[in-house]
Structure 1
Protein backbone atom coordinates (compact mmCIF):
# COMPACT_ATOMS: atom_id res chain seq x y z
CA UNK A 1 0.00 0.00 0.00
CA UNK A 2 1.30 3.42 -0.93
CA UNK A 3 1.42 6.55 1.22
CA UNK A 4 -1.99 8.19 0.89
CA UNK A 5 -1.11 11.64 2.23
CA UNK A 6 -1.90 14.33 -0.32
CA UNK A 7 0.69 17.05 -0.85
CA UNK A 8 0.09 20.46 0.66
CA UNK A 9 -0.26 23.50 -1.55
CA UNK A 10 3.33 24.51 -0.79
CA UNK A 11 4.54 21.12 -2.07
CA UNK A 12 2.74 21.53 -5.38
CA UNK A 13 4.45 23.34 -8.28
CA UNK A 14 3.11 26.85 -8.91
CA UNK A 15 2.19 25.86 -12.48
CA UNK A 16 -0.59 23.66 -11.03
CA UNK A 17 -2.15 26.29 -8.74
CA UNK A 18 -4.53 27.86 -11.29
CA UNK A 19 -5.94 24.45 -12.21
CA UNK A 20 -6.36 23.55 -8.55
CA UNK A 21 -8.13 26.87 -7.98
CA UNK A 22 -10.66 25.93 -10.68
CA UNK A 23 -11.33 22.59 -8.96
CA UNK A 24 -11.68 24.35 -5.62
CA UNK A 25 -14.21 26.74 -7.13
CA UNK A 26 -16.22 23.81 -8.51
CA UNK A 27 -16.16 21.55 -5.44
CA UNK A 28 -15.58 23.99 -2.59
CA UNK A 29 -12.28 22.18 -1.84
CA UNK A 30 -9.41 20.65 -3.80
CA UNK A 31 -10.12 16.92 -4.12
CA UNK A 32 -7.12 14.88 -3.03
CA UNK A 33 -6.76 13.19 -6.40
CA UNK A 34 -6.14 16.54 -8.08
CA UNK A 35 -3.64 17.55 -5.40
CA UNK A 36 -1.73 14.33 -6.11
CA UNK A 37 -1.93 14.82 -9.90
CA UNK A 38 -0.83 18.45 -9.43
CA UNK A 39 2.66 17.31 -8.49
CA UNK A 40 3.08 17.08 -12.26
CA UNK A 41 1.57 20.22 -13.82
CA UNK A 42 1.70 18.53 -17.23
CA UNK A 43 -0.16 15.41 -16.08
CA UNK A 44 -2.81 17.53 -14.35
CA UNK A 45 -3.19 19.72 -17.43
CA UNK A 46 -3.50 16.61 -19.62
CA UNK A 47 -6.29 15.25 -17.43
CA UNK A 48 -8.16 18.55 -17.49
CA UNK A 49 -7.56 19.13 -21.21
CA UNK A 50 -9.17 15.78 -21.99
CA UNK A 51 -12.08 16.51 -19.65
CA UNK A 52 -13.06 19.93 -20.98
CA UNK A 53 -13.71 19.07 -24.68
CA UNK A 54 -15.60 15.91 -23.71
CA UNK A 55 -17.93 17.94 -21.50
CA UNK A 56 -19.42 19.36 -24.71
CA UNK A 57 -20.45 15.97 -26.03
CA UNK A 58 -21.54 13.27 -23.61
CA UNK A 59 -23.49 14.84 -20.74
CA UNK A 60 -22.21 15.02 -17.17
CA UNK A 61 -24.40 12.15 -16.00
CA UNK A 62 -22.93 9.89 -18.67
CA UNK A 63 -19.42 10.90 -17.61
CA UNK A 64 -20.21 9.96 -14.01
CA UNK A 65 -21.77 6.69 -15.07
CA UNK A 66 -18.71 5.71 -17.12
CA UNK A 67 -16.43 6.76 -14.26
CA UNK A 68 -18.34 4.53 -11.86
CA UNK A 69 -18.33 1.47 -14.16
CA UNK A 70 -14.61 1.78 -14.94
CA UNK A 71 -13.61 2.64 -11.37
CA UNK A 72 -15.54 -0.26 -9.85
CA UNK A 73 -13.93 -2.63 -12.33
CA UNK A 74 -10.50 -1.28 -11.31
CA UNK A 75 -11.31 -1.38 -7.58
CA UNK A 76 -10.53 2.32 -7.30
CA UNK A 77 -12.38 3.22 -4.11
CA UNK A 78 -11.43 6.88 -4.40
CA UNK A 79 -12.99 7.38 -7.84
CA UNK A 80 -16.06 5.26 -7.01
CA UNK A 81 -16.74 7.46 -3.99
CA UNK A 82 -15.95 10.68 -5.88
CA UNK A 83 -18.23 9.95 -8.82
CA UNK A 84 -21.00 8.61 -6.62
CA UNK A 85 -20.96 11.99 -4.88
CA UNK A 86 -20.54 13.98 -8.10
CA UNK A 87 -23.24 11.95 -9.84
CA UNK A 88 -25.69 12.56 -6.99
CA UNK A 89 -24.88 16.22 -6.36
CA UNK A 90 -24.21 17.59 -9.83
CA UNK A 91 -25.86 15.12 -12.24
CA UNK A 92 -28.81 14.48 -9.91
CA UNK A 93 -28.64 10.69 -10.39
CA UNK A 94 -30.54 8.73 -7.76
CA UNK A 95 -28.80 6.30 -5.43
CA UNK A 96 -30.28 3.21 -7.10
CA UNK A 97 -29.06 4.31 -10.52
CA UNK A 98 -25.61 5.15 -9.15
CA UNK A 99 -25.33 1.70 -7.61
CA UNK A 100 -26.33 0.08 -10.92
CA UNK A 101 -23.83 2.27 -12.79
CA UNK A 102 -20.99 0.94 -10.62
CA UNK A 103 -21.55 -2.47 -12.20
CA UNK A 104 -21.91 -1.18 -15.75
CA UNK A 105 -25.69 -1.20 -15.72
CA UNK A 106 -28.50 1.35 -15.98
CA UNK A 107 -32.29 1.41 -15.81
CA UNK A 108 -32.22 3.24 -19.17
CA UNK A 109 -31.74 0.63 -21.95
CA UNK A 110 -29.63 2.88 -24.21
CA UNK A 111 -27.34 3.92 -21.34
CA UNK A 112 -27.18 0.31 -20.13
CA UNK A 113 -25.69 -0.80 -23.46
CA UNK A 114 -23.17 2.06 -23.43
CA UNK A 115 -22.05 1.28 -19.88
CA UNK A 116 -21.66 -2.41 -20.65
CA UNK A 117 -19.59 -1.38 -23.67
CA UNK A 118 -17.42 1.01 -21.60
CA UNK A 119 -16.80 -1.74 -19.07
CA UNK A 120 -15.85 -4.20 -21.82
CA UNK A 121 -13.46 -1.66 -23.35
CA UNK A 122 -11.70 -1.34 -19.98
CA UNK A 123 -11.74 -5.08 -19.22
CA UNK A 124 -10.46 -6.13 -22.64
CA UNK A 125 -8.06 -3.21 -23.09
CA UNK A 126 -10.07 -2.19 -26.14
CA UNK A 127 -10.17 -5.63 -27.75
CA UNK A 128 -13.96 -5.81 -27.86
CA UNK A 129 -15.79 -8.04 -30.33
CA UNK A 130 -17.38 -6.68 -33.47
CA UNK A 131 -20.71 -7.71 -31.97
CA UNK A 132 -20.03 -5.46 -28.95
CA UNK A 133 -19.48 -2.47 -31.22
CA UNK A 134 -22.56 -3.34 -33.27
CA UNK A 135 -24.67 -3.66 -30.12
CA UNK A 136 -23.77 -0.14 -28.95
CA UNK A 137 -24.45 1.20 -32.46
CA UNK A 138 -27.80 -0.61 -32.57
CA UNK A 139 -28.71 1.04 -29.24
CA UNK A 140 -28.47 4.43 -30.97
CA UNK A 141 -24.91 5.54 -30.20
CA UNK A 142 -23.02 7.09 -33.11
CA UNK A 143 -19.41 6.17 -33.87
CA UNK A 144 -18.40 9.66 -32.68
CA UNK A 145 -20.11 8.97 -29.34
CA UNK A 146 -18.48 5.52 -29.14
CA UNK A 147 -15.09 7.19 -29.57
CA UNK A 148 -16.02 9.67 -26.81
CA UNK A 149 -17.01 6.77 -24.53
CA UNK A 150 -13.58 5.23 -25.20
CA UNK A 151 -11.90 8.57 -24.44
CA UNK A 152 -13.75 8.73 -21.11
CA UNK A 153 -12.73 5.16 -20.31
CA UNK A 154 -9.12 6.18 -20.96
CA UNK A 155 -9.44 9.26 -18.79
CA UNK A 156 -10.86 7.29 -15.89
CA UNK A 157 -8.32 4.49 -16.25
CA UNK A 158 -5.66 7.16 -15.75
CA UNK A 159 -7.44 8.56 -12.68
CA UNK A 160 -7.94 5.03 -11.31
CA UNK A 161 -4.27 4.22 -11.73
CA UNK A 162 -3.25 7.40 -9.89
CA UNK A 163 -5.83 6.72 -7.17
CA UNK A 164 -4.73 3.12 -6.70
CA UNK A 165 -0.97 3.68 -6.95
CA UNK A 166 -1.02 6.51 -4.40
CA UNK A 167 -3.84 4.98 -2.30
CA UNK A 168 -5.36 8.44 -2.11
CA UNK A 169 -7.29 9.30 1.02
CA UNK A 170 -11.00 9.56 0.20
CA UNK A 171 -12.37 13.04 0.79
CA UNK A 172 -15.90 12.60 -0.59
CA UNK A 173 -18.91 11.48 1.51
CA UNK A 174 -20.09 7.86 1.51
CA UNK A 175 -23.14 6.69 -0.42
CA UNK A 176 -25.11 6.40 2.82
CA UNK A 177 -24.54 10.09 3.58
CA UNK A 178 -25.63 10.99 0.06
CA UNK A 179 -28.77 8.85 0.41
CA UNK A 180 -29.60 10.49 3.75
CA UNK A 181 -29.37 13.95 2.12
CA UNK A 182 -31.70 12.93 -0.73
Structure 2
Protein backbone atom coordinates (compact mmCIF):
# COMPACT_ATOMS: atom_id res chain seq x y z
CA UNK A 1 0.00 0.00 0.00
CA UNK A 2 3.04 2.29 0.44
CA UNK A 3 6.81 1.98 0.61
CA UNK A 4 6.98 2.87 4.31
CA UNK A 5 5.48 1.12 7.29
CA UNK A 6 1.85 1.96 8.03
CA UNK A 7 -0.34 1.15 10.99
CA UNK A 8 -3.60 -0.59 10.04
CA UNK A 9 -6.89 0.53 11.56
CA UNK A 10 -7.10 -2.57 13.77
CA UNK A 11 -3.72 -1.84 15.40
CA UNK A 12 -4.09 1.92 15.86
CA UNK A 13 -4.12 3.40 19.36
CA UNK A 14 -4.30 6.82 20.97
CA UNK A 15 -4.39 9.88 18.72
CA UNK A 16 -3.94 7.81 15.57
CA UNK A 17 -6.98 5.68 16.40
CA UNK A 18 -9.07 8.81 17.00
CA UNK A 19 -7.96 10.31 13.68
CA UNK A 20 -8.65 7.07 11.84
CA UNK A 21 -12.14 7.01 13.30
CA UNK A 22 -12.70 10.52 11.90
CA UNK A 23 -11.62 9.66 8.35
CA UNK A 24 -13.02 6.17 7.90
CA UNK A 25 -15.29 5.08 5.11
CA UNK A 26 -17.39 1.91 4.89
CA UNK A 27 -16.16 -1.03 7.03
CA UNK A 28 -13.56 1.18 8.73
CA UNK A 29 -11.72 1.68 5.44
CA UNK A 30 -8.98 4.32 5.61
CA UNK A 31 -7.64 5.65 2.31
CA UNK A 32 -4.02 4.72 1.77
CA UNK A 33 -3.01 8.37 1.36
CA UNK A 34 -4.17 8.97 4.93
CA UNK A 35 -2.69 5.73 6.23
CA UNK A 36 0.68 6.82 4.84
CA UNK A 37 0.72 9.45 7.63
CA UNK A 38 0.18 6.88 10.38
CA UNK A 39 3.70 7.12 11.86
CA UNK A 40 3.17 10.87 12.32
CA UNK A 41 -0.51 11.41 13.15
CA UNK A 42 -0.04 15.17 13.42
CA UNK A 43 0.79 15.35 9.71
CA UNK A 44 -2.40 13.39 8.90
CA UNK A 45 -4.33 15.92 10.96
CA UNK A 46 -2.79 18.79 9.01
CA UNK A 47 -3.41 17.06 5.68
CA UNK A 48 -7.07 16.41 6.41
CA UNK A 49 -7.69 19.93 7.70
CA UNK A 50 -6.19 21.38 4.51
CA UNK A 51 -8.07 18.95 2.25
CA UNK A 52 -11.42 19.54 3.94
CA UNK A 53 -11.16 23.32 3.98
CA UNK A 54 -9.80 23.69 0.45
CA UNK A 55 -12.01 21.19 -1.37
CA UNK A 56 -14.99 20.45 0.86
CA UNK A 57 -16.11 23.66 2.57
CA UNK A 58 -19.52 25.26 2.26
CA UNK A 59 -17.96 28.73 1.91
CA UNK A 60 -16.51 27.81 -1.48
CA UNK A 61 -18.40 29.36 -4.41
CA UNK A 62 -17.11 27.14 -7.21
CA UNK A 63 -19.11 23.91 -7.71
CA UNK A 64 -17.37 20.99 -6.06
CA UNK A 65 -17.45 18.92 -9.24
CA UNK A 66 -15.32 21.53 -11.00
CA UNK A 67 -12.88 21.73 -8.09
CA UNK A 68 -12.58 17.94 -8.45
CA UNK A 69 -12.00 18.43 -12.19
CA UNK A 70 -9.10 20.75 -11.44
CA UNK A 71 -7.75 18.13 -9.04
CA UNK A 72 -7.94 15.38 -11.65
CA UNK A 73 -6.23 17.66 -14.18
CA UNK A 74 -3.39 18.60 -11.83
CA UNK A 75 -2.97 14.96 -10.81
CA UNK A 76 -2.84 13.85 -14.45
CA UNK A 77 -0.19 16.48 -15.20
CA UNK A 78 1.80 15.18 -12.22
CA UNK A 79 1.23 11.58 -13.42
CA UNK A 80 -0.39 10.63 -10.12
CA UNK A 81 -2.80 7.86 -11.09
CA UNK A 82 -3.83 7.34 -7.45
CA UNK A 83 -5.36 10.81 -7.20
CA UNK A 84 -6.72 10.68 -10.75
CA UNK A 85 -8.67 7.50 -10.03
CA UNK A 86 -9.93 8.63 -6.62
CA UNK A 87 -11.01 12.06 -7.69
CA UNK A 88 -12.37 11.15 -11.09
CA UNK A 89 -14.72 8.75 -9.29
CA UNK A 90 -15.72 11.62 -7.01
CA UNK A 91 -16.12 13.94 -10.01
CA UNK A 92 -18.45 11.48 -11.73
CA UNK A 93 -20.55 11.07 -8.60
CA UNK A 94 -20.87 14.82 -8.07
CA UNK A 95 -21.46 15.68 -11.74
CA UNK A 96 -24.05 12.91 -12.16
CA UNK A 97 -23.56 12.99 -15.93
CA UNK A 98 -21.39 10.06 -17.00
CA UNK A 99 -21.01 10.99 -20.70
CA UNK A 100 -19.92 14.50 -19.80
CA UNK A 101 -17.55 13.20 -17.14
CA UNK A 102 -16.06 10.71 -19.60
CA UNK A 103 -15.59 13.51 -22.14
CA UNK A 104 -13.81 15.64 -19.53
CA UNK A 105 -11.52 12.74 -18.69
CA UNK A 106 -10.76 12.09 -22.36
CA UNK A 107 -9.75 15.72 -22.81
CA UNK A 108 -7.58 15.55 -19.69
CA UNK A 109 -5.89 12.36 -20.87
CA UNK A 110 -5.22 13.97 -24.26
CA UNK A 111 -3.95 17.09 -22.44
CA UNK A 112 -6.41 19.18 -24.46
CA UNK A 113 -8.73 20.69 -21.83
CA UNK A 114 -9.89 23.19 -24.45
CA UNK A 115 -11.81 20.26 -25.98
CA UNK A 116 -13.59 19.38 -22.73
CA UNK A 117 -17.31 20.17 -22.29
CA UNK A 118 -16.53 23.09 -20.00
CA UNK A 119 -17.39 26.78 -20.06
CA UNK A 120 -14.84 29.28 -21.33
CA UNK A 121 -14.25 30.44 -17.75
CA UNK A 122 -13.61 26.87 -16.65
CA UNK A 123 -11.21 26.33 -19.55
CA UNK A 124 -9.32 29.45 -18.47
CA UNK A 125 -9.04 27.95 -14.98
CA UNK A 126 -7.68 24.72 -16.49
CA UNK A 127 -5.06 26.77 -18.38
CA UNK A 128 -4.03 28.51 -15.15
CA UNK A 129 -3.91 25.15 -13.34
CA UNK A 130 -1.55 23.75 -15.94
CA UNK A 131 0.82 26.69 -15.70
CA UNK A 132 0.75 26.63 -11.89
CA UNK A 133 1.52 22.91 -11.91
CA UNK A 134 4.18 22.74 -14.61
CA UNK A 135 5.88 26.16 -14.61
CA UNK A 136 4.81 28.02 -11.46
CA UNK A 137 7.70 30.49 -11.57
CA UNK A 138 6.47 31.70 -14.96
CA UNK A 139 3.18 32.95 -13.56
CA UNK A 140 2.67 36.68 -13.34
CA UNK A 141 -0.16 39.09 -12.62
CA UNK A 142 -1.38 38.79 -16.19
CA UNK A 143 -2.39 35.19 -15.48
CA UNK A 144 -4.68 36.34 -12.68
CA UNK A 145 -6.04 39.16 -14.83
CA UNK A 146 -6.86 36.57 -17.51
CA UNK A 147 -8.92 34.65 -14.96
CA UNK A 148 -10.75 37.85 -13.97
CA UNK A 149 -11.40 38.63 -17.63
CA UNK A 150 -12.82 35.13 -18.04
CA UNK A 151 -15.37 35.90 -15.32
CA UNK A 152 -13.83 34.65 -12.08
CA UNK A 153 -13.97 36.81 -8.97
CA UNK A 154 -10.87 37.12 -6.81
CA UNK A 155 -12.21 34.82 -4.09
CA UNK A 156 -12.88 32.17 -6.72
CA UNK A 157 -9.37 32.65 -8.11
CA UNK A 158 -8.10 31.93 -4.62
CA UNK A 159 -10.17 28.72 -4.56
CA UNK A 160 -8.71 27.65 -7.91
CA UNK A 161 -5.19 28.40 -6.70
CA UNK A 162 -5.62 26.53 -3.42
CA UNK A 163 -7.16 23.43 -5.00
CA UNK A 164 -4.33 23.22 -7.52
CA UNK A 165 -1.70 23.76 -4.82
CA UNK A 166 -3.32 21.14 -2.56
CA UNK A 167 -3.35 18.52 -5.29
CA UNK A 168 0.33 19.00 -6.07
CA UNK A 169 0.98 18.44 -2.36
CA UNK A 170 -1.21 15.32 -2.32
CA UNK A 171 0.36 14.01 -5.54
CA UNK A 172 3.84 14.32 -4.07
CA UNK A 173 2.75 12.60 -0.88
CA UNK A 174 1.44 9.67 -2.92
CA UNK A 175 4.24 9.49 -5.49
CA UNK A 176 7.01 9.99 -2.94
CA UNK A 177 5.74 7.24 -0.62
CA UNK A 178 4.45 4.77 -3.21
CA UNK A 179 0.78 4.76 -2.24
CA UNK A 180 -1.43 2.44 -4.25
CA UNK A 181 -5.21 2.20 -4.51
CA UNK A 182 -5.11 -1.42 -3.26
CA UNK A 183 -7.86 -1.80 -0.67
CA UNK A 184 -9.20 1.72 -1.14
CA UNK A 185 -12.83 2.55 -1.90
CA UNK A 186 -12.70 5.02 -4.78
CA UNK A 187 -14.75 8.19 -4.99
CA UNK A 188 -15.57 8.75 -1.33
CA UNK A 189 -15.22 12.18 0.23
CA UNK A 190 -16.11 14.12 3.38
CA UNK A 191 -19.39 15.46 2.05
CA UNK A 192 -20.65 17.31 5.12
CA UNK A 193 -19.33 20.63 3.84
CA UNK A 194 -21.10 22.62 6.55
CA UNK A 195 -18.99 21.07 9.32
CA UNK A 196 -15.21 21.42 8.81
CA UNK A 197 -14.66 19.01 11.70
CA UNK A 198 -16.55 16.17 9.99
CA UNK A 199 -13.95 14.20 8.04
CA UNK A 200 -15.95 11.01 7.56
CA UNK A 201 -15.75 9.58 4.02
CA UNK A 202 -19.04 8.54 2.44
TM category (shorter chain) comes to 0.7 to 0.9
- Pick closer, same or farther for the CA change 1:63–1:43 going to 2, 3 Å: farther
TM-score (normalised: structure 1):
0.79
Structure 1, unmatched stretches of 5+, are 174-182
Match in the other structure for 1:23: 23
Matches within 5 A, 1:44-59: 44-54=44-54, 55-56=57-58, 57=60, 58-59=62-63
CA distance in 1 between partners of 2:27 and 2:65 (Å):
16
Match in the other structure for 2:174: 163
> Could you give the per-residue CA deviations for residues 15-37 of structure 1, whole angstroms, max 9, x where no partner exists?
23333333324797321111113
CA distance in 2 between partners of 1:20 and 1:99 (Å):
35
- Pick closer, same or farther for the CA change 1:45–1:127 going to 2, 3 Å: farther
Length, aligned pairs only? 173
TM-score (normalised: structure 2):
0.72
Match in the other structure for 1:100: 107
Match in the other structure for 2:193: none
- Pick closer, same or farther for the CA change 1:10–1:39 going to 2, 3 Å: farther
Structure 2, unmatched stretches of 5+, are 187-202
Q: Which has the higher contact order (CA 8 A, sep 6+)?
A: 2
Decide which structure has greater helix share.
Answer: 1
